[in-house]
Amino acid sequence: MFKIGVCYDDGSTNQEYFAYFNDIEGFDGDRIIDFENKIYQIKLLNGSLSPKFQEQLMNGLTKLPENIYLVILDEDDKSVGSFFLAIVNIIDTVFNSNKTVNLTLNAFMHSAEPGRYKSWKMKMSGEINKKNKWLELKPSERQGWLGMAIQCNQNIQGRGQHVIVDGTFIDDRDSFYCALGEAINGPGGYFGRNLDAVNDCLCGDFGPIPKSIKWENSRISQSKIQNFDEFIGLLTEIFAQNDIDFILT
């Protein structure tokens, strides 16, 4: 299980949480208040509050005095990912009969992506124990998966492996990035979410740099990916610059 800790962005290296919640709604950016200014509505569910924060709410607090972080914590209270919120307005406070609290917030959130929180829940519940679990998401949610993957990725160093990417399920560019990340770093792994990010990963710190990458069943993908030849040309250029053999079969 996991929970969501809330702390102020005060620059401290030892941040204190003033609330914990068991779940969240609207984190995938589906509740847009002001698209141009990236203001979203978020509902934090079944929370426990610090005495000070609870007193502030009881006294009518409607706007948080500082920017905050929502921190995803594992069962050992270790941070596995965090998300920044600014201009946080409290829209509604509900004190539940089980002594928990629901908070509805309007806030600036830069990282809202469809599928991101869904992917986090899959990760924290142990569901990502084999490759291709990203297929359970809609195509529009795959960047959300990749956003989760980049924060969870293990920095395994090295070089020399021969990577095989199975094109059976690759039907757009995002699915290629999902499959590439898992081919290099295992289930839920990350190795770029766009062409620039793939190039950045080849500089190190995002997994072992392959000696070769073979895209098997690429003909299946060819009929589905828009501007396939252009995409292949750009990938070939990036890999060649890093002395990686790129093979399509």
Flag whether pLDDT at 160 surpasses 90.
no
Flag whether pLDDT at 156 surpasses 60.
no
Same domain (yes/no): 17, 104:
yes
Query: Is the Cβ–Cβ distance between 183 and 246 less than 8 Å?
Result: no
Same domain (yes/no): 72, 147:
no
Query: Is the Cβ–Cβ distance between 130 and 187 less than 8 Å?
Result: yes
Same domain (yes/no): 60, 96:
yes
Flag whether pLDDT at 155 surpasses 60.
no
Same domain (yes/no): 151, 82:
no
Q: Is residue 118 part of a domain?
A: no
Could you read off the pLDDT of 161-184 as tens digits, one per residue? 899 999 999 999 999 999 999 999
Query: Is the Cβ–Cβ distance between 7 and 18 less than 8 Å?
Result: yes
Distance CA(215)–CA(203), nearest Å, equals: 21
Q: What number is the average pLDDT over the span 115-122?
A: 89
First to last CA, the chain: 42
Flag whether pLDDT at 44 surpasses 80.
yes
Flag whether pLDDT at 157 surpasses 60.
no
Same domain (yes/no): 137, 243:
yes
Residue 9: predicted pLDDT: 83
Q: Is residue 117 part of a domain?
A: no
Of 133, 139, 138, whose CA–CA distance to 121 is shortest?
Answer: 133
Flag whether pLDDT at 159 surpasses 90.
no
Same domain (yes/no): 153, 190:
yes
Flag whether pLDDT at 249 surpasses 70.
yes
Query: Is the Cβ–Cβ distance between 208 and 160 less than 8 Å?
Result: yes
Flag whether pLDDT at 239 surpasses 90.
yes
Query: Is the Cβ–Cβ distance between 55 and 109 less than 8 Å?
Result: no
For residue 31, the enclosing domain spans: 3-109
Q: Is residue 114 part of a domain?
A: no
Same domain (yes/no): 137, 105:
no
Mean pLDDT of the residues in the chain? 90
In sign, the C-alpha dihedral spanning 108, 38, 137, 150 is: negative
Q: Is residue 115 part of a domain?
A: no
Largest CA distance in the chain: 66
Q: Is residue 120 part of a domain?
A: no
Q: Is residue 142 part of a domain?
A: yes
Q: What number is the average pLDDT over the span 33-58?
A: 94
Domains of the chain: total: 2
Could you read off the pLDDT of 179-209 as tens digits, one per residue? 999 999 889 999 999 999 999 999 877 777 8
- Percent of the chain past pLDDT 90, that is, above it, reads 69
Q: Is residue 171 part of a domain?
A: yes
Which comes out higher in pLDDT, residue 160 or 18?
18
Distance CA(156)–CA(58), nearest Å, equals: 48
Could you read off the pLDDT of 48-106 as tens digits, one per residue? 999 999 999 999 999 998 899 999 888 888 888 888 899 999 999 999 999 999 999 99
Q: Is residue 162 part of a domain?
A: yes
